[in-house]
Structure 1
């Protein structure tokens, strides 16, 4: 235990230096790091509770409330918190000097670190505050004329849908809406829905990688290939997929992409990044003021004025934490946790799952409902009676709560959820029978 804690503390302390160094581990911390890399397939490690106890011990989550809304925003491990605090205190010694002349110089090494994790060039990544900022920058920055068509879905994220509606109202573009049939375990059918909406006037297809309403993994690459064959550009919303699924951004085939790093990467709140293929950067106008708003440099999107340099620099520690676990192991664990509880409740009378159990179609996020009980009421009962925090979801036929575990969640935690759903479903079934009688 002391070796583990020493390792993580040194990990955070080393990353919380004015300039992020590429190699900082001492011999003792390397030994602890190797323990995190114990042999075994991702699927084997996914069920190794001794291994994941190492990870859980790094989080300072409440022992009283079971947080199963990590999809909204994830807690940060202690190493990331420590790095953030240290950078913050450092800035306060002489803010304008340490922020602008010292920490601001660390952005390039951080950009390179994120680019390595994302599998792209540093010159294709802008560091910002969240997926909404990144995607809105792209949506408002693209040159579109009246009559140009954009294909998107009613299951996309509201902030992005509203941005497109604003462009429709302001610029006279046409929005073509899909109503996806979810959950789905048929990529070809999903692709056909997008194919059927494309016309000669389509300029952009907007697709969400992991749908926040249901946890559905969308076949982004197949949709992108379809669109590109017809000269259409693709925007991908990666808010719920980055550091959750095991992939590199270029593998998606999209032209534009953005994500929030305070979700699955467990970076400080209000941190995100945007990706644009290098040759496309000049085609997107900077959202805020820039000396060359239509230039080819990705850094034109980072003219945000004063922002939290401390939070930004601590992203590097979150990247180290991610690398310590490994993308394949992390996804395998998250999918295992989702299926652990979902398999136990799916056959209970009155319980409905709105998410696939197959790893090709869903990871950690899943939505569960109880017949006769609206999502907000189920969320209320889980919180008030069982101290389990979820989020209500109502969208078309989907009516329930979204359950999102993370790497610090244990099967024992999820047993609490199973008990709660079992009891609530039983009470609802009894009430339904009594009404009928």
Structure 2
């Protein structure tokens, strides 16, 4: 708490834009957040007076619809919206000047702050547009040869699956997929499944940190330790964990990592980040051209041509907002919200939860279904009759409606969800 209060007072005394004393966060939220700290009852994830201040910082908390698909993309708080608007208006006065000669100078301070949040070296961070771009850069940049094997799962994100399948078609690598029946509350069962699939030709294991369909947290560190003992590298899809779970990327012990910043960090839509362990950078080819494609500089992956520097710079205010709450506190709150509605839903006859409610195995995302209803039918009814926005999932062996709250989600929103499930289940 003392560190957070110090952040409010100092808030990066040097730097550009979001990282200076005149940041929009300082202007709009710092005083309110500091006052909110006085409302905080240490150890309580359900301190509603504190969280009401956070909720008010999001325009989405006042939406006509209840947004419970934050696993797809999260809305930004007001400070990030205003930052993006400010930068867009500035750029519109002369894009070639303001973007290339002013805003572009903000990338290095942004890289430093992202690295601090990620607990890693800034020279291992590349800023891009989303997890798909980050991970596809890695997947297509790996120096794999015909016959080399990659192990993933059928529950991985489709864009990563398709990337590996394209490498299989183009280069003759062997792409193998495991299948799991989630929820699983046994790390060793998952690690063993990967270990049993390893052969002398295995070069890469791909792990989705949180399975986006139903929210299972995979034991990434244990998988990495097993893989490294066998001389295998690990690619981690962190799209649903960065800004949500309290961890440092190097602590996962992976080799490659990609994430989207427009999910739980609540940065602008179209912002992402890639991390590559420093001694691996040289061997990864950039997805797009660079003058030194086999160089050791992480910036070789940022040769994207003209893109929105406005979006990049607004990420800074999302970092300020994140630090104003604290990642650990945020993780505990969002897990509390998931558990709050899911435990009640479990008591409703005909309702099933497809996700563990233990914090070591899940956090924000949970899958729910009602006997006799298809996921898309339940999803449609929740929105049509109750204005609750979720998403129906039919992917391989997973058939459920995905529900994902965020810090701006109100308890009353979740009470409405539980009431809706109860009413729908009685009529099913």
Interval of TM-score (by shorter of Structure 1 and Structure 2): over 0.9
SS at match of 2:88: helix
**Pairing 1:57–2:43 present:** no
Question: Equivalences for 1:120-199 in 2 at 5 Å?
Answer: 120-199=120-199
Are residues 410 and 27 of structure 1, via their aligned partners in 2, closer, same or farther at CA, if it must alter by over 3 Å?
A: closer
Question: Equivalences for 1:233-382 in 2 at 5 Å?
Answer: 233-382=233-382
Deviations 1:82-131 (A, max 9, x none): 11111111111121011111111110000000000000011000000000
2:3 alignment partner in structure 1: none
* Matched-pair contact (CA < 8 Å) for 2:145–2:172: yes
Distance 1:65 1:339 in 2: 21
* Runs (4+) off by over 3 Å: 17-33, 36-43
Question: Equivalences for 1:201-216 in 2 at 5 Å?
Answer: 201-216=201-216
Deviations 1:149-200 (A, max 9, x none): 0000000000000000000000000011100121111011011110111111
Distance 2:76 2:114 in 1: 17
Gaps of 5+ in 2: 1-6
Deviations 1:273-309 (A, max 9, x none): 0000011000100110101011100000000011011
1:78 alignment partner in structure 2: 78
Q: Identify which range, 57-66 or 182-191, moves more after superposition.
A: 57-66
SS at match of 2:418: helix
Structure 1 position 23, deviation (Å): 4.6
Are residues 29 and 427 of structure 1, via their aligned partners in 2, closer, same or farther at CA, if it must alter by over 3 Å?
A: closer
Distance 1:416 1:308 in 2: 38
* Matched-pair contact (CA < 8 Å) for 1:42–1:328: no
* Matched-pair contact (CA < 8 Å) for 2:216–2:362: yes
* Matched-pair contact (CA < 8 Å) for 2:37–2:50: no
Are residues 388 and 30 of structure 1, via their aligned partners in 2, closer, same or farther at CA, if it must alter by over 3 Å?
A: closer
Are residues 339 and 30 of structure 1, via their aligned partners in 2, closer, same or farther at CA, if it must alter by over 3 Å?
A: closer
SS at match of 1:210: coil
Distance 1:217 1:132 in 2: 19
1:432 alignment partner in structure 2: none
2:19 alignment partner in structure 1: 21
Distance 2:283 2:87 in 1: 35
Distance 2:191 2:427 in 1: 41
Deviations 1:251-294 (A, max 9, x none): 11110000000000000000000000011000100110101011
Distance 1:64 1:80 in 2: 21
* Matched-pair contact (CA < 8 Å) for 1:37–1:324: no
Question: Equivalences for 1:25-104 in 2 at 5 Å?
Answer: 32-38=32-38, 43-44=43-44, 46-61=45-60, 62-104=62-104
* Matched-pair contact (CA < 8 Å) for 2:151–2:204: yes
Are residues 323 and 386 of structure 1, via their aligned partners in 2, closer, same or farther at CA, if it must alter by over 3 Å?
A: same
Distance 1:259 1:29 in 2: 26
SS at match of 1:241: coil
SS at match of 1:228: helix
SS at match of 1:273: strand
Deviations 1:296-355 (A, max 9, x none): 000000000110111110000000000000011100100000011001011221111100
Gaps of 5+ in 1: 1-6, 429-437
Structure 1 position 24, deviation (Å): 4.7
* Matched-pair contact (CA < 8 Å) for 1:43–1:333: no
* Matched-pair contact (CA < 8 Å) for 1:18–1:103: no
SS at match of 1:314: helix
Distance 2:261 2:358 in 1: 25
Are residues 312 and 170 of structure 1, via their aligned partners in 2, closer, same or farther at CA, if it must alter by over 3 Å?
A: same
* Matched-pair contact (CA < 8 Å) for 1:262–1:269: yes
Distance 1:27 1:347 in 2: 45
Deviations 1:182-228 (A, max 9, x none): 11110110111101111111000000000001100000000000000
Distance 1:197 1:270 in 2: 35
Distance 2:117 2:28 in 1: 25
**Pairing 1:232–2:241 present:** no
SS at match of 1:126: strand
Distance 2:181 2:384 in 1: 33
